[in-house]
Structure 1
Amino acid sequence: MSKRNIQDILHFRRDLPPFLVHLTRDRKNPAKENLISILDSKTLRQSREHISSMRFLKDQKVENSEELFAAICVTETPLEFIHCLIDIQGRQVNLEPYGVVFLKDKLKKKNFHPALYFNNSVEGHADPILKAIETLSQSAETKKFFPLITTFGHLVGPSKPSGGWHDFYWEREWRRPFCYGDFSFSFGEDVDNNDVFCGLCPEDDIIFFEERYPGLPFIDPMRPPSWYAKKLIDRRKDLNMRHAVV
């Protein structure tokens, strides 16, 4: 019996989607307007929001702190489970069903990396690991990996907020560190330079978005992808993708 090619196998691993998804939220402007801004500019702007767990080791102000702790965030969650990221009780960051589905292979080449999760379910286990990493803080390369670091379980460090516990490992987050700047992407008729598979929006907004951005299909992430099977399969063919998408 001949051996199987790993790439052929991975094309049909439904738990390893070929996509990375960026969802918008109501921040300064409504989520819908934020998505329009992203698509009109074809740019994801860098956030200055501190998200790296390394920030909790600092008990004083850090110069140019966004370079160490901020990043653009996307998720590797499969399309059929994007709804699991929305309408969650008690979340400080409330994501909305508006977003962009990017091709993962393209973003791999543009400085997006899986978040580096450390397990701190037993309180204190991750603190010495992060403190050891902190000793590298004088390196010029630090800004390329500090923003990727996060923990799940008990919070870490002397400056951690009260509450004590968080776990977002299930979000399967990828990040583009702040030092790489804004992320400019392409979509349109040029298949070779297309970074986007489709857009996300509520069903009632699909006609609006598809008329505004001809050739870019939209689906409602609150519905199962099979609802849009033909649209997704046609898009897969247009982009010459081998992966199963429905």
Structure 2
Amino acid sequence: MTAIENLLQRRTDLSTFLVHLTRDGMQGNARDNLLAMAEDKFIEARNPFGPASKYEPLLADSVSQKAVCFTETPLEHTWMMLEKINGRGVQFEPYGLVITRATARKTGCNPVWYTDITVRGRTWPAKNINLMIDNALRRATVEDGRIDRTLLAADPVFQITPYFEQMGPISNGRRKEFWWEREWRHIGGYWISIPRIVAILAPADEHGDLRDRLSDIDEAWERRPLLDPRWGLERAITALADVSRGDATPFPDPD
């Protein structure tokens, strides 16, 4: 009888890895954000997610909706996450970190639970999640109409809402989809263990300089492979195997 692990590792539609991509923002550009993560060994959870995200200001830290996000997109298709996709609300840059799904599970990450909202007139699961949030707010409303934050934080629905996401059209032509996102989330900030980082993502023409910068931060980073997320699978394999660049193309340098 075959073990399930031996079957799954042959399926090319499933990814062994999760990728965290950075983007430009108020704290700096995507490259600077990557270097800050490497130095702090920590990925900050900056944004709230899920159907209760708009209530983040009312919620206690113990039930914060802020999360660190990863995508389960197969490594050789990470390039797609960098494209300017019509209807998508975020733009990622070619910088990030790669971990395995096994590491993600060991360190408290969970897949996002997508619920469809495409067809009007149906009672999709999202409606019931929103109803539970409304009920929690009502139970936490005291006599003067004020929200009691302690009562609100005690409601268990806010422990699971960061893991829910809508699937389908949202507003203003935007949409979210399981098909390309396949997101995992870690509630709160994510501590980085350098030996568990499979690879660092960055444009190929920056690898030399970035390697030096990372080595200055911590020598352990020097042992982590650098990949360009726009490379194909075979080019990435040669880099992971530490094959010299001149031997990693179909056109060898002349003797």
**CA offsets, 1:42-95, max 9 Å, x none?**
111111x23213447x7xx85127735321111110011111111314543110
Q: SS at the partner of 2:33?
A: helix
Match of 2:16 in 1: 18
Secondary structure at the aligned position of 1:223 is classed as coil
Quote the residue 1:197 is aligned against.
Answer: 198
Q: What amino acid does structure 1 have at the position aligned with 2:161?
A: F
Per the alignment, in what secondary structure is the counterpart of residue 33 of structure 1?
A: helix
2:124 is equivalent to residue 109 of structure 1 = no
- 1:165 and 1:40 map into 2 onto residues whose CA distance is 35
- Structure 2: give runs of 5+ residues left out of the alignment: 138-151, 215-220, 244-255
Identity %: 27
Change (3 A) 1:230 1:130: same
The aligned counterpart of 1:167 is: 176
The alignment status of 1:36 with 2:35, answered yes or no, reads yes
Separation in 2, partners of 1:55, 1:210: 37
For 1:62 and 1:26, locate their aligned partners in 2 and report how far apart those are by CA, in whole Å: 24
Residue 145 of structure 2 is matched in structure 1 by none
The amino acid that maps onto 1:186 is S
| Paired position in structure 2 for 1:231 | 239
Q: Whose Rg is larger? A: 2
User: Residue 87 in 1 paired to residue 95 in 2?
Assistant: no
Number of residues of Structure 1 aligned to a counterpart in Structure 2: 214
Unaligned runs of 5+ in 1: 156-161, 188-193, 236-246
- TM-score w.r.t. length of structure 1: 0.77
SS of the aligned residue for 2:230 comes to coil
Q: Contact 1:26–1:96 at 8 Å: present in 2 too?
A: yes
Q: Which has the higher helix share?
A: 2
Aligned position for 1:209: 210
Give 2:95's match in structure 1, choosing from 65, 90, 98.
Answer: 98
RMSD between superposed Cα atoms in Å: 2.5
User: What secondary structure does 2:36 align onto?
Assistant: helix
- Residue in 2 that maps onto 1:77: 73
Cα 1:84–1:164 change in 2 (3 A) is closer
SS in 1 for 2:95: strand
> Are residue 142 (structure 1) and residue 157 (structure 2) matched?
yes
Scaled by the length of structure 2, the TM-score of the pair is 0.75
- Residue 97 of structure 1: SS of its match in structure 2? coil
* Whole-angstrom distance in 2 between the partners of 1:228 and 1:153: 33
In the alignment, what sits opposite 2:167?
A: 152
Whether 2:186 is the aligned partner of 1:176: answer: yes
User: Are 2:181 and 1:186 aligned?
Assistant: no
TM-aligned CA distance change 1:68 to 1:184, over 3 Å: closer
SS at match of 2:186: strand
Equivalent residues of 1:19, 1:103 under 8 A apart: yes
Distance in 2 separating the partners of 1:107 and 1:136: 30
For 1:165 and 1:32, how far apart are their aligned partners in 2? 27
Moved over 4 A (4+): 135-140
Contact kept in structure 2, 1:54 and 1:149, CA below 8 Å: no
